């Protein structure tokens, strides 16, 4: 996918907001424009990536929740957002990026450490661990 990608990472300090779907469409239209993929497939870090396409050219927005498993605001918000529809562009949602940490309700998972610190700091850097590599490969 080409275009601009905006990565939103929700944290423990996310404000309380009322989240409502952007638009309502019939289930048949939704099914045609939605898919669920697995990133880090075949590893213990495997997690779901929801792809919501509008069918109209536009920006690509990526929402990543569950970076830290002890911060429920992020993964709860991302689970709501995965049901949104978009009028143009594409919405990518990873509700539970660090699925093991989310399940354990811990900040980190064995072998991952602090996922937020594993992402590249510059365009020439490489991600520090397999889970961060899988997430960055989407971009």
CATH number at residue 48: 3.40.630.10
**75: pLDDT confidence band, cut at 50, 70 and 90?**
very high
Q: How many domains does the chain have?
A: 1
In a domain, 20, yes or no: no
In a domain, 15, yes or no: no
Residue 116: give the domain boundaries. Answer: 5-10+25-138
Distance, CA of 47 to CA of 109 (rounded, Å): 13
In a domain, 111, yes or no: yes
Distance, CA of 22 to CA of 89 (rounded, Å): 13
Structure tokens at 20: 């409502």
With vertex at residue 10, the alpha carbon angle to CA 7 and CA 14, rounded to the nearest 5 degrees, is 140
In a domain, 81, yes or no: yes
In a domain, 51, yes or no: yes
Q: Is the pLDDT of residue 1 over 60?
A: no
Distance, CA of 77 to CA of 99 (rounded, Å): 15
Contacts of 17 (CB under 8 A, 6+ apart): none
pLDDT digits (tens, 9 = 90+) for 5-35: 445 454 444 444 444 444 434 443 445 599 9
Question: Under DSSP, is residue 5 helix (H, G, I), strand (E, B) or coil?
Answer: strand
């Amino acid at each position: 996918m080409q275009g601009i990608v905006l990565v939103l990472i929700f944290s423990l300090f996310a404000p309380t907001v009322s989240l409502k779907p952007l638009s309502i469409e019939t289930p048949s239209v939704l099914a045609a424009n939605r898919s669920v993929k697995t990133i880090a497939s075949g590893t213990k870090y495997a997690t779901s990536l929801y792809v919501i396409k509008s069918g109209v050219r536009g920006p690509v927005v990526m929402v990543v929740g569950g970076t830290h498993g002890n911060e429920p605001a992020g993964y709860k918000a991302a689970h709501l957002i995965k049901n949104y529809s978009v009028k143009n562009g594409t919405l990518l949602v990873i509700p539970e990026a660090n699925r093991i940490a989310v399940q354990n309700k811990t900040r980190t998972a064995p072998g991952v450490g602090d996922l937020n610190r594993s992402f590249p700091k510059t365009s020439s850097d490489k991600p520090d661990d397999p889970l961060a590599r899988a997430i960055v490969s989407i971009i």
